[in-house]
Amino acid sequence: MSNQPTIPFSTTLHVRDTCLCLHAQRAARALARRFDAAFKPLGLTNGQFSLMMALNRPDPPPMGPVAALLAMDRTTLTAALKPLTQRGWVAVVADEKDRRGKRLKLTEAGMAVLAEAVPIWRHEHEELEAGLSTDPQILRQGLIEVAR
């Protein structure tokens, strides 16, 4: 006889049907695939779009606030920036007030690709929201609350 604990299959079904983390992960993957496909003609991923939008500010932001907005650590942000800087879409520049700090700036080429991406994002977003059976604002608010 085995002393290994068992978990009833009914528990597996309950987790499958009720786990917010699982449903958020599945939704995030589906959304990522959808927006990756939409942005593919521009050579852009959904993550790169979000990162570049986070840089679209009147003044180039420091890395810390961008990482916080995107819920990633600085190491992950640095890795995500690499292909964007290699393509000439983002420049990492010295902070004029503190030379030890770095700021992130969209280049002209980066702004141009972002300007092409925004109408694609709007179209996909409108279609996505129109296909939801629930109020998109309620869904958005719930996700914001979870991310706090």
90 touches 55 (CB < 8 A): yes
Distance of CA 108 to the CA centre of its chain: 22
Report whether pLDDT(82) > 80: yes
* Residue 22, pLDDT score: 96
The strand pair at 102-106 and 90-94 is best described as: antiparallel
Q: pTM for the complete prediction?
A: 0.89
Sequence spans of domains, the chain: 12-147
pLDDT in tens, 52-80: 999 999 999 999 999 999 999 999 999 99
User: Where is pLDDT greater, at 47 or 98?
Assistant: 47
* Residue 1, pLDDT score: 62
Query: Given this structure, which CATH class describes domain 12-147?
Result: mainly alpha
- N- to C-terminal Cα separation, the chain: 47
Q: State phi, psi for 87 to the nearest 5 degrees.
A: -85, -5
The C-alpha angle 73, 74, 75, rounded to 5 degrees, equals 95
- In the numeric block, the tokens 């939008």 are attached to 53
* Residue 101, pLDDT score: 85
Percent of the chain having pLDDT more than 90? 89
Task: Place 36 in a pLDDT band, splitting at 50, 70 and 90.
Answer: very high
147 touches 65 (CB < 8 A): no
